[in-house]
Amino acid sequence: MVDGQVFTTEIDNDGIAWVTLDVPGETHNVLRREHLAEADALLDRLERHAGLKGVVLRSGKPDSFVAGADIEMLDRCTHAADAAALARAGQAFCDRLERLAVPTVAAIHGVCLGGGLEIALACRYRICTEEAVTRLGLPEVRIGVLPASGGTQRLSRLIGARTALDLMLTGRRISGEQALALGVVDACVPAANLSAAALRWTARGNRPPRPWRWRIASWLLEGNAIGRTVLFHEVRRRSWHKTYGNYPATEAIIHCVETGCAEGRAAGMKAEVEAFGLLVVTPEAQELRFLYFASTAMKKERVADASPRPLERVGVIGAGLMGAGIAAVTIDHAGLPARVRDPSAEALARASRHVVRYLDDRARRGSLLPIQVEQARRRLTLTTEFNGFKQVDLTVEAVFEDLELKRAVLAEYQDQAREGAIFASNTSSLPIASIAEGARDPASVIGMHYFSPVEKMHLVEIIPHPGTAPEVTATAAELARAQGKTPVLVADRPGFFVNRILAPYLNEAGRMVMDGFPLDEVDRVLKRFGFPLGPFELLDRVGIAVATKVQPILQEAFGERMASSGLLERMLESGPGKFYHRAAGGHRTPDPAVYASLNVQPVRSGASPEEIVDRVLLPLLNEAAHCLHEGIIRSPRDGDVAAVFGIGFPPFRGGPFRYMDRRGVSEVAQALRRHTKTFGARYQPAPPLAADPPSPFYPRSESTTEGDKG
């Protein structure tokens, strides 16, 4: 046996080298620059070993093969050349691994992502387990870069360019069974059989040739100029439709795969190194890395000076879409029993069907095994009364946004629940102190604001009121983390943070339509800026009735800044109910009835995209600065993560505070003053922006600068 700090090698009597990768002090194996010397020494030994018959590469971690490269390495690259050197080193190691004269087998159990999958692709064979914990993927695009150890070339040659591009451009993770179906792995076995299966595959010798049907299909798509032109044109068209060119990594991935198909692997590898070097130092990649580090830290940080209480059972009051979603992530991600209470048996039946569809979809995508689906279903129970709530530790209330209704539900709950049981209101705007007023145990009352759809949105606002016990705050945050969410602590004022910054954004978009701007023009410009939905698409998703319920609460609290445009009220009174309708062929187009109900004739504005963006976006930025000044959020970092995860603020821009810093805080303040002269006091700069001169929200030592791209 040869022991190293990271790699341990044992060669058995049959000449098979069992190489175990185990990074000390880490839950997951994470690749770092300093591991390369030891990895090269390992290959030196294997290349020199005369009696070697095969190599099995496995992990010493219980549920992780290799989680990828250490992202902090990228933050330390101040020049494109630094990042390119990392890519060359990764390619060199994988090339040497690939050239070993004996069969090499990657035995994969647990996460196998990024550089981990690239190492596995350099092996002759790949065997993985069928357990749900096993997930494979190349998610580099999500931090603004691309696979740079040969991944763009090896994966596209292994499974075809079209399928490989789909995996790399989405960054999605696939299960072991999906990887087998796509041809990423050669076998998918139970975890107990992994070592035995890997040993058998070391005797396979060279890979057999591809079936002739696969070779013909590959030639038609990628092996000739006409097929390549059609394929990559279509891939670029779809990519542009999703990203509007805002993510440089997507075009770089397409370019590398196309180069490899047209000019050969060496050219593709060279393109990969060059693109990686340039991407690492782009502003987009820097902001995506910031979000990764920030959200990771927030999932671990304490939000109160207390330890969370143990959680064994969770209750949910209200069986609408929000309640059903909260129950779904509780029984699935948190693995806790959820008891849903609603006086309507029909509502409970709908909620049950919603949860079942969610679990079945997770199983179809390979995220859950059938037995795990059945176990999760058994954790869901339904009731029209409060029976069973004596055993519940924390209950999330998800009823309609009405103060008196929420107070009544709280009073009834505390009469039925055990002493000290936590009551968390999923309110989007109502002050938690107002809900807790008159409660028998106000210290056990807190806000947990989830976002719709709960199953997909990653944020939960944790809102203690002044009387909330610290351990209640800690417990609510712990539940959010267990449910797979990022908790952000916010102060108890109307709208909290996310809805408070969203309201003036939507209001100003409404004023623009009242001024004659076509609503689809406003939506299109904001989507090209980077929002996943335009403001009117978002309103259609949220519902006009819900939005109008929140509006007066915010206007009463904050005055003219939150004054309604009048659009939603008129839509609710006489409008069609939505801004868009389905036209022939399924395309969504603005409903002409919207303009008729508003008595507005839309005319293409002639305004530049920058002018449209600023008119709608500046109120959001300004309100974020107000929230920071008032202590609604703890830091700009918390506000940035909340805005990205809560309303889809463009991730590649980092969040409202990062965006203002990069644009220039003084320039944002000047733009607000110009708009104040044109549109009124609602644009008056918030105190942090009214300073002379205003300071950046992130000190330079905390902020990622652009660096040298040469």
- Catalytic: which of 222, 287, 461, 478? 461
**Count of positions (residues) in the chain:** 710
How many CB atoms are closer than 10 A to CB 317?
Answer: 27
**Residues contacting residue 651 through CB under 8 Å, at least 6 positions apart:** 287, 288, 291, 530, 644
Closest CA to 339 of 378, 382, 376: 382
Contact call for residues 496 and 554 (beta carbons, < 8 A): no
Can you tell me the distance from the alpha carbon of 444 to that of 464, in angstroms, rounded to the nearest whole number? 10
Contact call for residues 639 and 627 (beta carbons, < 8 A): yes
- Cis peptide before 693, with omega less than 30 degrees from 0? yes
Is position 131 annotated as part of the catalytic site? Answer: no
Contact call for residues 421 and 393 (beta carbons, < 8 A): yes
Secondary structure (3-state) at 515: coil
Strands 187-189 and 174-175: unpaired
- C-alpha dihedral sign at 455, 461, 466, 471: positive
Can you tell me the distance from the alpha carbon of 75 to that of 78, in angstroms, rounded to the nearest whole number? 7
Output phi, psi for 339, to 5 deg.
-110, 115
Can you tell me the distance from the alpha carbon of 701 to that of 617, in angstroms, rounded to the nearest whole number? 27
Which residue, chain included where needed, has tokens 């290349």?
Answer: 47
Instruction: Give the sheet arrangement for strand 64-66, strand by strand.
Output: 64-66, 111-113, 135-137, 174-175
Can you tell me the distance from the alpha carbon of 90 to that of 122, in angstroms, rounded to the nearest whole number? 11
Secondary structure (3-state) at 136: strand
Write out the two tokens for 688: 């942090």
Task: For residue 621, give Cα distances in angstroms to 24, 122, 576.
Answer: 43, 47, 31
The two most distant CA atoms of the chain are separated, in Å, by: 86
Task: For residue 277, give Cα distances in angstroms to 138, 145, 708.
Answer: 17, 9, 11
Task: Please give the positions annotated as active site.
Answer: 461
